[in-house]
Structure 1
């Protein structure tokens, strides 16, 4: 490979990006950098400003001007960091999430249209070529191994059902009754959920899902329920489960839930250790026969008021 090869590819790829954003429809009314800031903030419940600056490699003054603009527009809220009072924490407001969701929808539609011109037989080869570039040129040679938490994309909800069914059958011998339960949970979320009060996170590494978790409203007022925590076997031992559970806790507390509850079974010892590390308390357990096995179901609860900063959100209480 020569310098000219790289420059030729850069010219080609720059042309592709320009074609995707023809007429500036994709990012309007934001600049490309502003859109990147919105995108990163939408991936997590909150970020410290210094971490956001490092992540995007932005000048501190430039990022400060963007955040000031976003705050004036009601897209973000800023407050003291929980990890270091000298830092400032940044989180999207409901309006900010709507703006980020609109940009994401435009990007999906635009890239989807581009992929529609690619022969289906060539798509795996194209995807592999993209992964190869990331792996070869990534910082320290291991960027492809970084894990990001993101919102689900088309097909991810089906992946949650398939992987839950396959993993629990392989590891615990559960039958298709469990797959039916997961399918109903996922279908209920897909058909009717409030994006301000309920979310799904996908943990992604090297361009593919390796974990998931859900936060949905419980029947009890002011209570959220954590559901369907899963980490692929080859991705375990790297703190992904902890990150997923922390994302749910931060989100639930941030929108004003008072309590976070979950139901699990005593055989899932790895998941139970994660819940205990994050302050969940076992409140009840009961033997039952489900999924073709004799199990002991357990109810766990986390008081979000006692475990950290709590802000009342009237909408969460009223609904």
Structure 2
């Protein structure tokens, strides 16, 4: 599916590109103490991560022109930094690797790069440094998502996760369904009760992660001795269509069954169609529906239930 991109967002990205190009220019000036440009340093860095690599693979990974890369490698070879030869598996292919002198040079470049970045960050306070690095991680993860593993990892909530659940529920449903503070207050009460009173032997929560980033959550709480409640299923828009919601619900069902609950219930709203499909696919049935204007007008609250004794 192709998402629409507004002109304002396009201009924001272009503005950021212009700004960061200036930052890179500042870093490049720092490399003038060496005879190597940023691109040349990048080639040396990539070679330092491999013993010997085929030149065609290096060119592909770096996105460089074949003739340009060949000239760089020839210069490095004449400087004693790189050795080149034929591939042992295919004599038609050329391989390249760093010499000991090349590794010494790369060590010096790494140390100078670390110093440049340290000087770039040093004027910022601890909190600003953390936010800046987190924003950079977000850019890298979002734009590189297609090249990442995308394995879904479920784990128990840790420090800060419960606050994240409240914040993301409030922000996401306000954005997508115009739900106001009444919903966020409800989520906050549920989470506060879970944090203060839950019994680990009978209740649990899960945070879903992809590539180390939180993308979803769900909780299984106790209604009574025989009935569990599935609560606060959330999936970030960036992770939808990847099976995160189904994995979270399945884990909740497995836990409730293992504890010995006979039935599991959930409360939802009719506009949450994607979540309702997940519930239907896993055998939940709607047992009650009523008019519900607390979050937004014209909506209906629904109670769904599933028997667990045949699991």
The count of residues paired between Structure 1 and Structure 2 equals 192
**Structural mapping, 1:1-319, within 5 Å:** 1=44, 120=127, 122-123=129-130, 141-143=147-149, 145-218=150-223, 220-306=224-310, 308=311
Tell me if the contact between 2:148 and 2:211 (Cα under 8 Å) persists in the aligned partners.
no
Q: CA deviation at 1:192?
A: 1.2
| 3-state secondary structure, aligned to 1:290 | coil
Q: CA deviation at 1:142?
A: 2.1
- Indicate the residue corresponding to 1:16 in structure 2: none
Higher relative contact order, chain-length normalized (CA < 8 Å, sep 6+): 1
The superposition leaves residues 227-258 of structure 1 with CA deviations (integer Å, 9 ceiling, x where unpaired) of 00010112101111000000000000011111
Report the Cα distance in structure 2 between the residues aligned to 1:258 and 1:152, rounded to whole angstroms: 25
Report the Cα distance in structure 2 between the residues aligned to 1:151 and 1:161, rounded to whole angstroms: 16
Report the Cα distance in structure 1 between the residues aligned to 2:260 and 2:308, rounded to whole angstroms: 9
Instruction: Give the 3 Å change call, closer, same or farther, for CA 165–250 of structure 1 in structure 2.
Output: same
Report the Cα distance in structure 1 between the residues aligned to 2:133 and 2:180, rounded to whole angstroms: 37
Q: CA deviation at 1:268?
A: 0.9
| 3-state secondary structure, aligned to 1:305 | coil
Higher-Rg structure is 2
Q: CA deviation at 1:130?
A: 8.9
Report the Cα distance in structure 1 between the residues aligned to 2:138 and 2:47, rounded to whole angstroms: 22
| 3-state secondary structure, aligned to 2:171 | helix
Tell me if the contact between 2:204 and 2:219 (Cα under 8 Å) persists in the aligned partners.
yes
Instruction: Give the 3 Å change call, closer, same or farther, for CA 173–194 of structure 1 in structure 2.
Output: same
The superposition leaves residues 180-217 of structure 1 with CA deviations (integer Å, 9 ceiling, x where unpaired) of 00000001001111112111111111222111111000
TM-score where L is the length of structure 1: 0.54
Q: Which runs of 5+ in 1 are unaligned?
A: 8-117, 309-319
Q: Which runs of 5+ in 2 are unaligned?
A: 1-43, 51-124
Report the Cα distance in structure 2 between the residues aligned to 1:241 and 1:150, rounded to whole angstroms: 14
